[in-house]
Amino acid sequence: MDEQEFLASLQAEIRDRFMQLTDKERDIIRSNSGTAYATLLRRVLGDKVLGSLKTAPPAKKTGLGAR
């Protein structure tokens, strides 16, 4: 397995684990985007690992969940 294959596998595993989180847990992670914590995490994990992973703002609550 070369480096590209390893990184693709690692990124797929990160995406899978993220999708297994609850909506609330995903929003916690998303709410840290752009913070000092997120910057440090990016420095630790590196752009090779996190570079192609997309980020999104926390989902807006609609319906009864918005109350």
Which tens digits make up the pLDDT trace of 18-35?
A: 999 999 999 888 888 889
From residue 41, give the alpha-carbon distance in Å to each of 7, 36, 44, 45.
17, 9, 5, 6
Percent of the chain with pLDDT over 70: 81
Assess if residue 28 is contained within a domain. yes
Q: Which residue has the tokens 């319906």?
A: 63
Assess if residue 8 is contained within a domain. yes
Assess if residue 63 is contained within a domain. no
Indicate the pTM of the whole model.
Answer: 0.70
Q: Which domain holds residue 11?
A: 3-50
Assess if residue 22 is contained within a domain. yes
Total domain count, the chain: 1
Residue 63 has pLDDT above 80, yes or no: no
Assess if residue 61 is contained within a domain. no
